[in-house]
Amino acid sequence: MRLLTWNIRHGGRSGAHLDRVIDTFVAFAADVVVVTEFRSHEGGTRIRNRLAAAGYQTTCEGVPPPRNSVLVACRGALAACGPLDGRLEQTDRLWCVSWQGLKIVGVYMPNQELKHPYWAALLAHAGSAAAADIYCGDFNTGRNDLDREEGGTAFIGAEYMDRIVDAGYIDVWRHLNGAAREYSWYSNPGRRGFRLDHLFARPLWAGRARTCRLDHVPRLSGLSDHSVLVAEFDTPDASQPGSVA
């Protein structure tokens, strides 16, 4: 199973630029796609239509077009979908889907102090009977010791990176790459690197991860200001709990 998440920057723009963004999604041929900074406007409709034509079912909440949100797309039918917590001010920032026995939450955290209630909701969900197998997307958060370049502004909420681990989840990129430093977004001005895009999985799924890498080509080519995070998982036997057929 291949899963990717990518922040497409303010809806992916329009015209030929947006076509290149959509072509990038299709070229990865992922089974699950989590799009952050998705917008429910004409460009968003083009994204959904192209993904549907490529065999994906898409889900997101219809939010006002200027606002960034999360779109989740999966190959084949989705069993269920909806917001993680309907009490949040912007419920579309944490979006749950169930696909072939796998529970996934697409994440697009706000910046700075605004992220606190969203992290609280995510951690409460992670500790509940409804907990997801995977939480992935743009968390706008990282560890201050490893996930920001020297001289970069310190993360607000860096402690949440430990709290989700304490809740029983594994940072799959860090699990496979140790103490390496690699960044998915660079500040402007200053050009300081930060790892903002993450994939947290239950140990069962983290143990199935063969690769989890950042593809920088879309960012370096100017399609977005974020790199693509893509992971490959071994497909378990269909008789196992949480398996993907």
CA dihedral sign of residues 180, 186, 192, 194: negative
Q: Which of 205, 184, 200, 233 is nearest to 106 (CA)?
A: 200
Taking only Cα atoms into account, the Rg of the chain, rounded to an integer number of angstroms, comes to: 17
| Secondary structure (3-state) at 135 | strand
CA dihedral sign of residues 216, 107, 45, 97: positive
241 part of a folded domain: no
At 237, the pLDDT band (50, 70, 90 cuts) reads low
180 part of a folded domain: yes
Query: What local confidence, expressed as pLDDT, does residue 243 receive?
Result: 44
62-74 residue pLDDT tens? 778 789 999 999 9
Query: Model's pTM, two decimal places?
Result: 0.94
pLDDT at 46 over 50: yes
243 part of a folded domain: no
Query: What local confidence, expressed as pLDDT, does residue 115 receive?
Result: 98
242 part of a folded domain: no
Domain that holds residue 174: 2-233
240 part of a folded domain: no
134 part of a folded domain: yes
101 part of a folded domain: yes
Backbone angles phi, psi at 112, to 5 degrees: 50, -140
121-180 residue pLDDT tens? 999 999 999 999 999 999 999 999 999 999 999 999 999 999 999 999 999 999 999 999
244 part of a folded domain: no
Provide the CATH number for the domain around residue 104: 3.60.10.10
User: How far is it, in rounded angstroms, from Cα 24 to Cα 21?
Assistant: 5
Structural domain count of the chain: 1
| Residue 165 DSSP label | H
Residue 35 tokens read as 């799009």
**Do the beta carbons of residue 38 and residue 44 sit within 8 Å?**
yes
